[in-house]
Amino acid sequence: MNDEGRWQLVLARDFRADGKFVTAVKSTGIYCRPSCPARHPLRKNVTFYATPAEAGRAGFRPCRRCRPDEGNQQAEIIQRVCRYIETHLDAPLTLEALSRQANLSPHHLQRSFKKFVGVSPRQYTEAQRVKQVKSKLKGNGTVTAALYEAGYQSSSRLYERNQLGMTPGDYRRGGNGMRIGYTIVSSPLGRMIVAATERGVCFVGFGDDDQFLQGELSKDYPSAEIRRDKNFGQWVDAILNNLSGKQPHLDLPLDVRGTGFQQQVWNALKRIPYGQTKSYGEIAESLGKPNAARAVGRACATNHVSVVVPCHRAVGSSGSLTGYRWGVGRKEKLLAKERSGE
C-alpha cells in the first residue's frame, strides 16, 4: 500500500487499518491510529510509520485520544466479526449468531460494531452482499448464482432496496440496454436537462450550453441508449415550478444508481425543509455517523438528480456554500430563491 492509499484509509477513519500503520503529524508532533476521531490534519503535514515504535524514534508522541501505543482488544474483536461476515455471506448472519462469534452480548456487539465500523452489523452484512453480487455480475456470472451465493433467497430484496440502481441483469451488462430519454429547456438557472427511464427521473443538470449538458448525461450513463424525448413533460414542468417557487415540494419517481450510503444521504437531503440548509456534519450526525462528513460531501457530489434531490441545501460547517456540480453561483441563487419564498 502506498501513502495515498493510507491517506484514504485515514480520511475514512477505517478502524481495520489500525495496527497496520500510524499517522504522524509534523505540525503537532503527535502520531495517531488511522481511525482516530480527532479532526483530520492537512495532508502536507502527515507522514506514515509502520509501527508506534518507529514514530516514537522519529520524535513523535502518542495521541492521548486514540492511544495508538496501546493494544485495542475491542477493535480486534470487531475486525474478526467483519472477517466472519465477509466469509459467511451465505449463512444466516443474525445479531445473535454474530454475538456468539464475538463472545459478546448482542447489545454490546451492536454498540461496539457501530462505534468502530460506523454502521450496524446488519447494514455491514447487506453492503458486503451487494458488493459480492456486483463482483460476480461484473465477472459475467449468472444473476441467479450471484444472488444466492451472496445470501439472497430471492431477487426481490435486492430489487426493492435499489442497491444496484438498475436490475442485476442490466448491471452485469455494464448498463447496456438501459433506455434514457432526455429534453433540454430554459430555466431560471439557465439551460436545464432532464433525463428519465421508464421508471423515473435519472438525471437533472444545468448549464449554458446544450452540448455540454448532453456530454454530462453521457458521462454519467456511458453504456445506455440515450435519445431526445419529450414524453415526460409533467416531470419537467414540476421541476420548473419548483425553481420558480410555485411547487416547493417535489415528489417525483426516481431511477438513480447509488450505494447504500449514498441512498441514505440522498434521502436525508430530501428531508431538509424547503428554504433551509444543513451542514455536511449535521447530515452525517442524522445518519448516526458523526465522522462521515466528508463521505456525505462525496455523496452530494455524485447526486445525479439535482433539485429533485436537493444537494444544494448541504453547506459547509460555517455556512459556506462549498462546491456544486453546476456552479456555486447557481447554488447561491437556488438558496436565495428558496429563502425568499418566491
Residue 209 belongs to a domain: yes
Cβ pair 132, 30 in contact under 8 A? no
Same-domain check for residues 196 and 267: yes
Same-domain check for residues 184 and 91: no
Residue 67 belongs to a domain: no
Determine the Cα–Cα distance for residues 149 and 81; give it in Å rounded to an integer. Answer: 19
- Tell me, yes or no, if 32 is annotated catalytic: yes
DSSP state of 42: P
CATH code for position 157: 1.10.10.60
Report how many domains make up the chain.
Answer: 3
Q: Which three cell numbers stand for residue 247?
A: 411547487
CA angle 153, 158, 163 (to 5 degrees): 150
Q: Could you read off the pLDDT tens digit of each residue along the chain, which spans 342 residues?
A: 788 889 988 887 777 788 889 999 999 999 999 888 888 889 999 999 999 999 999 999 999 888 888 766 677 788 888 888 888 877 778 889 898 888 888 888 888 887 767 678 888 887 777 777 666 555 554 444 444 444 444 444 444 444 444 454 554 444 456 789 999 999 999 999 999 988 889 999 999 999 999 999 988 888 788 999 877 888 999 999 999 888 888 888 888 877 778 888 998 999 998 889 999 999 999 988 888 888 898 889 889 999 999 999 999 888 888 878 899 899 999 999 888 865
With 0.75 as the threshold, say if the pTM is over it: no
Same-domain check for residues 106 and 37: no
Residue 288 belongs to a domain: yes
DSSP state of 18: B
Distances (CA, A) of 175 to 39, 72, 180, 218, 256: 39, 44, 11, 12, 12
Q: If you average pLDDT over every residue of the chain, what do you get? A: 82
Taking only the tens place, the pLDDT of each residue in 11-67 is 877 777 888 899 999 999 999 998 888 888 899 999 999 999 999 999 999 998 888
Same-domain check for residues 226 and 320: yes
- Tell me, yes or no, if 63 is annotated catalytic: no
Catalytic residue, from 36, 66, 202, 311: name it: 311
Cβ pair 49, 13 in contact under 8 A? no
CATH code for position 319: 1.10.10.10
Q: Which three cell numbers stand for residue 149?
A: 451465493
- Its sign, for the CA torsion 201, 205, 210, 215, is negative
Same-domain check for residues 312 and 325: yes
Range of the domain at 94: 72-174
Catalytic residue, from 32, 36, 82, 300: name it: 32
